[in-house]
Chain A
Amino acid sequence: MTLNAILITGRTINQGATIENKTSLDYQEATAYCELNPKDIGILGISPGSCVSVTTDHGDVVVKLKENKGNPDGLAFIPMGPWANAVVNPDTRGCGMPGFKGIPSRIEPTEKKVLSMKELIARYK
C-alpha cells in the first residue's frame, strides 16, 4: 500500500502548453500527477487516475496517479510546477539550485482530493 520511491520532476509537453494558463483546470491536469511504472502501481494496489499522497522530508501533496512504462522501478515523476514543488528539497547546496530531482519520497493511496492551484498556494499564506 505504500511505495518508497525516488522522485524526479521535469518538463512535459502538456505542462508547457498550459504554462501560461495556470489558473485553468488544463494546467492542473497537466501537472498535478505522479507517474509510476505498472509494477509500482501494482504495489500501491490502486489504479491510475486515483489520488495518491506524496510525502517527502520537505512536505506533502496530493496528486493523481498515472502510469508510465518508461519509469524504472522505484522512480516517481511529477511534472514541474506547484504540486511537485510542494515536496521538492529546497536546499540549494551552495549552488543556488534547489533539489528538484532525486528526492526520497513515500507514496500512498489517499482519499484526499487534489488541491487547486489557488488552494495549494493558499497553504503558504
Chain B
Amino acid sequence: MQTITIKPKKEIKISVEAENITPDKLAGKTEQEIQSMEAWVGNQKTTLGELFSIRVEGSAPAAETKIVMEGDFARVKRIGEGMTSGLLIINGNVDMHLGNKMSGGNITVKGNVDSWAGREMKGGELIIEGNAGYYLGAGYRGESCGMRGGKITVLGNALDFVGEHMCGGEIIVKGNTGILPGLSNNGGKIVIEGNTSRPGSEMSKGTIIVNGTVDEMMPVFKLEGNEDLGGVLYKKYTGDVISNGKGLLYVR
C-alpha cells in the first residue's frame, strides 16, 4: 500500500492543470520524484512540488495506491485524468474534468466538483458527496460518445447536460439536475432522485429514471403505461420517437 497526501501550499487563483495526479502516474514514486512532476498554472510550466506539499508513505503499484488530497482544489483541473486503478480521495472541492477518461479505480470527493467530471469515463467509480457542475459524465465537443462505462454518484445536485451522449455506465444524482439530462443517451443509465427538466431528448437507447418531478417533458416520448420498478410505480415512456429511439424514461 502506498499513500500519497497532497495539500495546496498556497491559495490557487489561476487554474492549475494537474493531470499527473492519478494513482497510475504517482504510484511507486518518491516524494522528490512527485514534487518534480509537471503541472501548469496558466501559461507557466511548474511542478507539483511548487504548488503542493506532498507526503508519501510506502511504495506500491497503482492498484494499491491511495492519493489523499486535503484542502481546496477548486482551481485544480484534470485530477484523476485517465486513471485505471487505485484510490483518489479529495477532502475538498475540485475544478473541471475530474476523472475524465478514467477507466478504473475509485475517486471520492467530499466537496463540490466543477463541470465535466467523469467526461468520457470508461470505467471505475466516481463519488461526489457535494454538488456537480455542468456536463457530468458527458462527452467532449463534437464526439458522439460521452461516458461509456463505470459509475458516477452525486449526493448533491448536478447542473445541465448530465450524461450527454452517454453510451454506457450509470449516473445517480441524489439531488436535482439542470435541464436536458440524458441528452442523446445511447445506452447509459441515469437515475435522478430529485427534480429535473427536459430529460431524455434525442435518446436512442438507455434508461432514465426520475423520482422527483419533471418540470417540462419533451414532446418526443410515447407513454407506454405504468410499470412497477422495485415496488415503485412509474409512468413508462419510450423514445425519442423522432429517431425511433429505444430509450426508456421512467417518471414517478
Contacts and interface: CB of A to CB of B under 8 A. Distances in A.
A–B touch (CB < 8 A): the answer is yes
B123 to A, nearest CB: 24
A118 interface: no
> Taking chain A's interface residues, is the majority helix, strand, or loop, or is none over half, making it mixed?
loop
Contacts of A93: 134, 159-160, 178
Contacts of B115: 94
Interface string A68-95: 0000000000000000000000000111
Interface string A36-62: 000000000000000000000000000
Interface string B114-154: 01100000000000000001110000000000000000000
A108 to B, nearest CB: 28
Interface in A8-28: none
A35 B244 CA distance: 44
A5 to B, nearest CB: 20
A39 B7 CA distance: 59
Contacts of A94: 115-116, 133-135, 159-161
A21 B40 CA distance: 41
A95 B134 CA distance: 9
Nearest to B116: A94
Contacts, number: 13
A93 B160 CA distance: 8
A89 to B, nearest CB: 13
A37 B161 CA distance: 35
Contacts of B178: 93
A94 B158 CA distance: 12
Nearest to B164: A94
Interface string B82-99: 000000000000000000
Nearest to A94: B134
Contacts of B161: 94
Nearest to A92: B134
A95 B161 CA distance: 11
Interface in B155-184: 159-161, 178
B47 to A, nearest CB: 30
A98 to B, nearest CB: 14
A95 B179 CA distance: 13
Nearest to B160: A93
Contacts of B116: 94
Interface in A82-116: 93-95
A45 B25 CA distance: 67
A94 B178 CA distance: 12
Contacts of B135: 94
Contacts of B134: 93-95
A66 B164 CA distance: 42
A36 to B, nearest CB: 26
Interface string B178-219: 100000000000000000000000000000000000000000
Contacts of A95: 134
A95 B164 CA distance: 13
Nearest to A95: B134
Please give me the 7 A-B residue pairs with the lowest Cβ-Cβ distance, nearest first: A94-B134, A94-B115, A94-B135, A93-B160, A93-B134, A94-B160, A94-B161
Given A93-B159, A94-B133, A94-B161, 10 more contacts: A93-B134, A93-B160, A93-B178, A94-B115, A94-B116, A94-B134, A94-B135, A94-B159, A94-B160, A95-B134
13 contacts: A93-B134, A93-B159, A93-B160, A93-B178, A94-B115, A94-B116, A94-B133, A94-B134, A94-B135, A94-B159, A94-B160, A94-B161, A95-B134
